[in-house]
Amino acid sequence: MSGSLVRLDLHPLADHGWRQRCREQLNQSGALVLRQFLKPQALEAIIEEGNAQRHLAYHTRSKHNVYLMKPDEAFSANHPRNRDVLSTKGCITDDLIAADSPLRQLYNDDLFQRFLCDVLGEDALYPYADPLSSINLHYAPHGQELGWHFDNSSFAITLLVQKPLAGGIFQYVKDLRDADAGEMNFAGVEAVLDERQPVNELEIDAGDLVLFRGRNSLHRVTPTEGEVTRMLAVLAYNTQPDIALSETARMTFYGKL
Ligand SMILES: O=C(O)CCC(=O)C(=O)O
Ligand SMILES: [Fe+2]
């Protein structure tokens, strides 16, 4: 199955040595970019599906702090703990992705999942128990952006489907906090928000697969510029079975349950 979707000549998913190099790269830099991951026909089909379903996208515009937590009144509104950044998102949910979509074939593919487990150091990966959250396709037309944040989950798997003419750049600062140790690093976060700290950028093209550890690495996507909408697929897995995204989160992100 993966052979019809994935450039296995460039990315030998079954090869143990290659998996190990991927794992080392991810652990060293916090991100792994597998360039030209998809075969051109598979990418074309996803672009077509994305364009056809685009009118169904749910758009939200929200302000949040980088920690994605409710404000803490012990700090001022401008303190890095509470400071608002803007995210403008539009996406379609798993129920709107076709049964025969290359995105779903890839998401469900055994070899792909075993490769991910090995690189991420997980025993198994499971789909979301709710009907909306496993595969999402995000749209960012001109002017839309994702503000600085830390993810709640320890890893994210994305596939850039369509690259905008300009902007829409993924920027990050690796290991800026230590969530498990309760270290928030307000000074470090403030330096990024105030643009006093240099940031890294991922150079990503359409068809590239990205594995990213975003729980402790602050990241954002700069505003898209120009006529071409940024389209990005998020392949979301859990490390435990039977986990659903909370109803509150589904209403916030998708506007439905
Ligand atoms: O759009 C991207 O490239 C990253 C998305 C992201 O950071 C997120 O959904 O948490
Ligand atoms: Fe994120």
Ligand 2 centroid to 115 CA: how many Å? 22
Looking at the CA of residue 234, tell me the nearest atom of ligand 1. Answer: 9
37 exposed, middle or buried (CB, 10 Å; 0-12, 13-18, 19+)? buried
Confidence (pTM): 0.96
The complex's ipTM works out to 0.98
Question: Do residues 178 and 239 make contact, with C-beta atoms less than 8 angstroms apart?
Answer: no
- CA-CA-CA-CA dihedral for 172, 209, 85, 187, to nearest 10: -20
Looking at the CA of residue 140, tell me the nearest atom of ligand 1. Answer: 1
Ligand 1 centroid to 44 CA: how many Å? 22
The CA R_g of the chain, rounded to the nearest whole Å, is 18
Q: Which two tokens stand for residue 49?
A: 């599906």
Where b means 16+ CB within 10 Å and e means fewer, 199-217 reads eeebebebbbbbbbbbbbb
Most ligand 1 atoms within 8 A of CB, residue of 158, 162, 169 to mutate: 158
Residues in the chain: 257
Predicted confidence pLDDT, tens digits, the chain (257 residues): 688 999 999 999 999 999 999 999 999 999 999 999 999 999 999 999 999 999 999 999 999 999 999 999 999 999 999 999 999 989 999 999 999 999 999 999 999 999 999 999 999 999 999 999 999 999 999 999 999 999 989 899 999 999 999 999 999 999 999 999 999 999 999 999 999 999 999 999 999 999 999 999 999 999 999 999 999 999 999 999 999 999 988 998 899 99
